[in-house]
Chain A
């Protein structure tokens, strides 16, 4: 079945083709044709990804991986990265999610973006986004991965600032680009370090060669792993580079779904999982990942509690859920991290898409306090949103999020790299998650209707929602915890690419007890959210004096923007202002000034007076003759 795996190159090539066609001829096509190309290319990609997945599962290639070299990129001084794709269980799962969820989001956008201008531009960017993400996950060397990485960054910039006529949106796009750039620069330096140490950027070569070149816990291993982590933090919006993501809500809702669920932010998770050998060699960095994940999920969870904009709540919840993935990677439970990514992609894109449907229906209303009563008016959106919310809050047994999140919470404690503190953070975060999630559900769909419905979503919106809703419920059954019969094909599948988690010696009964606590608190969170919703005076009684200041502090995302503005942005602006007229500037300014002055002088000679010109010729002739004759 080798010939089916040969189709691998089509995965990124098809969306790239769609991008090129739409970017060059898009303005000449009808909307129908644009949607057909934009959705179609990704749809075929998704289909091919499924076919490749089936072929991989039924006829696993030798060595559990398959690579396809298209051509050599360049060859300089023995360093020759190639354009080649590498398929193993990890990249297969990412490919499937990127193309399949990406396809559903494209399908949804075909309707939701129909109004307004830039239809072709929108699908061109989206296709390029999918292409870049596929290059990222399929790359067999880190240079190609970096190209996809930057492509994703570029597309996020373009899409967040899609409605660029509004200054705020452009500012949000710039912020996303610049903040992730900090991480990207770290990652690039990390790549230089890897080239210096290994002489190659081929992933498989580095992973197999690293233990021989770098000793466990050496400082080189530390810096290599740390710098790559920096890149992952930027792209995945983890502490301390998480500030760009809430503002990235400026883009259209399907873009948020794509950035948050299927692509961009999970790139960091992929990078760390892909380079896991380096993190095994640098235990300090791996511990740092776990701590960053725990800190991020707590910070973002508390911020989400206070938001009123439905998309901002979801944005903070994304940061928090990626925090869980990082926590899982940090305690060595790689496959759990990837499993949570897998489930998260379904329910988070679902939540964004149904939130987008609500926003569309209510005429661009984002504030959950002005929504309400949509349960009866928009039943499909309500039920799918509820499924997604249940998965996000990890409601026991019936939702997919329960299986993925509780696995992480359990490993945060039970792994030999875990501890009670990490468990406490993960557990507390889960509790908060269920509160803010259901606060959102109650405000949006229950009670009285406060805003008129101006648009009724059609089938192209509903069908993707229903598919994602079903997946948010049942996708978790591919991995059941040990006490439920230990049915875990997902992690078994991944274990050929990623090491299994090594457990500390913990009694089996502990797992049951911790799990029970989790379940109770998840439900308790829903109950608390209901209490606060039913009795608004409960909330206002808390928001006096110090409580008000605290809630403002959380509302503004722990004032990270304020701190960064004062620590980095303003000094930089101030420095550049006082440095505006330094001596280098004077040299360049002087050259320009001289030319301007000369221009003015020559300009004066051009006065249109013919006798003046003749005099010029005569004087010139005299001077020339003098030089020739007498010098």
Chain B
């Protein structure tokens, strides 16, 4: 079995997180924003796993399961919302969908 050092694992997690963040900030299509959020969530989960493996604690994996469940719920809601948005506005461009303001 190949052991990966914690630094490498956390670095990977950080890179994944940044990729997700940049995706959220730069993408205009809401579908892609949602996918980027998934990447960020998984990056966080990876960080938990790495930390849990390093200290030989089960907590990291428990947290990952939580995140997994939450992500599933979030996707279910998010996709439903996106579906409705597309029906109502015929677009998924977040710059156009800026009606929620005073």
Q: Which residues of A contact B (CB under 8 A)?
A: 603, 606-611, 614-615, 618
Which chain B residues lie closer than 8 Å to A606 at the CB level?
101-102
C-alpha gap A610/B98 in the complex (Å) = 7
- Contacting A at CB under 8 A, from B40-81, are none
- For A614, the closest partner residue in chain B by CB is B24
Q: Is the beta-carbon distance between A607 and B25 smaller than 8 angstroms?
A: no
Q: Select A615's contact among B25, B99, B100, B102, beta carbons within 8 Å.
A: B25
Which chain B residues lie closer than 8 Å to A614 at the CB level?
24-25
C-alpha gap A614/B30 in the complex (Å) = 13
Q: Is the beta-carbon distance between A611 and B102 smaller than 8 angstroms?
A: no
C-alpha gap A296/B25 in the complex (Å) = 85
Does B21 sit within 8 A of A, measured CB to CB? yes
Q: Is the beta-carbon distance between A610 and B94 smaller than 8 angstroms?
A: yes
Does B13 sit within 8 A of A, measured CB to CB? no
Q: Which residues of B contact A (CB under 8 A)?
A: 21, 24-28, 30, 33, 94-95, 97-102
C-alpha gap A615/B27 in the complex (Å) = 12
Q: Is the beta-carbon distance between A609 and B94 smaller than 8 angstroms?
A: yes
Q: Is the beta-carbon distance between B100 and A611 smaller than 8 angstroms?
A: no
Q: Is the beta-carbon distance between B99 and A611 smaller than 8 angstroms?
A: no
Pull 17 A–B residue pairs with CB atoms less than 8 Å apart, ordered by A.
A603-B102, A606-B101, A606-B102, A607-B98, A607-B101, A609-B94, A609-B95, A609-B98, A610-B30, A610-B94, A611-B24, A611-B25, A611-B26, A611-B27, A611-B94, A614-B24, A618-B25
C-alpha gap A603/B27 in the complex (Å) = 25
C-alpha gap A611/B22 in the complex (Å) = 10
Q: Is the beta-carbon distance between A610 and B33 smaller than 8 angstroms?
A: yes
Which chain B residues lie closer than 8 Å to A615 at the CB level?
25
> Most chain-B Cβ atoms within 10 A of its Cβ — which of A603, A606, A611, A615?
A611
C-alpha gap A618/B25 in the complex (Å) = 10
| Given contact pairs A610-B30, A618-B21, a sample of 4 additional A-B residue pairs in the complex whose CB atoms are under 8 Å apart | A606-B101, A608-B97, A610-B94, A611-B26
> Which A-B residue pairs are the 9 nearest by beta carbons?
A608-B98, A608-B101, A610-B94, A609-B98, A606-B101, A614-B24, A608-B100, A611-B25, A615-B25
C-alpha gap A609/B99 in the complex (Å) = 8
A619 CB, nearest partner CB in chain B, Å: 10
- For B36, the closest partner residue in chain A by CB is A614
- For B28, the closest partner residue in chain A by CB is A611
- For A606, the closest partner residue in chain B by CB is B101
B101 CB, nearest partner CB in chain A, Å: 4
A314 CB, nearest partner CB in chain B, Å: 60
C-alpha gap A606/B101 in the complex (Å) = 6
Which chain B residues lie closer than 8 Å to A607 at the CB level?
98, 101
> Most chain-B Cβ atoms within 10 A of its Cβ — which of A606, A610, A615?
A610
- For A618, the closest partner residue in chain B by CB is B21
C-alpha gap A607/B95 in the complex (Å) = 10
Which chain A residues lie closer than 8 Å to B102 at the CB level?
603, 606
C-alpha gap A611/B98 in the complex (Å) = 10
C-alpha gap A618/B97 in the complex (Å) = 21
A580 CB, nearest partner CB in chain B, Å: 33
Which chain B residues lie closer than 8 Å to A611 at the CB level?
24-28, 33, 94
C-alpha gap A615/B22 in the complex (Å) = 10
A513 CB, nearest partner CB in chain B, Å: 89
C-alpha gap A611/B95 in the complex (Å) = 8
B76 CB, nearest partner CB in chain A, Å: 19
C-alpha gap A611/B94 in the complex (Å) = 8
C-alpha gap A614/B100 in the complex (Å) = 15
A608 CB, nearest partner CB in chain B, Å: 3
- For B22, the closest partner residue in chain A by CB is A618
C-alpha gap A603/B33 in the complex (Å) = 25
Which chain A residues lie closer than 8 Å to B26 at the CB level?
611
A625 CB, nearest partner CB in chain B, Å: 13
C-alpha gap A618/B99 in the complex (Å) = 22
> Most chain-A Cβ atoms within 10 A of its Cβ — which of B26, B33, B94?
B94
C-alpha gap A611/B37 in the complex (Å) = 12
C-alpha gap A609/B25 in the complex (Å) = 11
A136 CB, nearest partner CB in chain B, Å: 54
A356 CB, nearest partner CB in chain B, Å: 56
Which chain A residues lie closer than 8 Å to B101 at the CB level?
606-608
A412 CB, nearest partner CB in chain B, Å: 75
- For B100, the closest partner residue in chain A by CB is A608
C-alpha gap A603/B102 in the complex (Å) = 9
C-alpha gap A243/B94 in the complex (Å) = 71
C-alpha gap A615/B25 in the complex (Å) = 7
C-alpha gap A603/B30 in the complex (Å) = 24
Which chain A residues lie closer than 8 Å to B100 at the CB level?
608
A596 CB, nearest partner CB in chain B, Å: 16
C-alpha gap A483/B94 in the complex (Å) = 106
C-alpha gap A614/B102 in the complex (Å) = 18
C-alpha gap A606/B33 in the complex (Å) = 20
C-alpha gap A608/B102 in the complex (Å) = 9
C-alpha gap A608/B28 in the complex (Å) = 13
C-alpha gap A618/B98 in the complex (Å) = 19
> Most chain-B Cβ atoms within 10 A of its Cβ — which of A607, A608, A615?
A608
B27 CB, nearest partner CB in chain A, Å: 8
C-alpha gap A209/B52 in the complex (Å) = 93
A599 CB, nearest partner CB in chain B, Å: 11
B21 CB, nearest partner CB in chain A, Å: 6
C-alpha gap A490/B24 in the complex (Å) = 98
Which chain A residues lie closer than 8 Å to B21 at the CB level?
618
C-alpha gap A603/B101 in the complex (Å) = 10
B74 CB, nearest partner CB in chain A, Å: 15
Which chain A residues lie closer than 8 Å to B97 at the CB level?
608, 610
Which chain B residues lie closer than 8 Å to A618 at the CB level?
21, 25
B18 CB, nearest partner CB in chain A, Å: 10
Which chain B residues lie closer than 8 Å to A609 at the CB level?
94-95, 98
B94 CB, nearest partner CB in chain A, Å: 5
C-alpha gap A608/B95 in the complex (Å) = 8
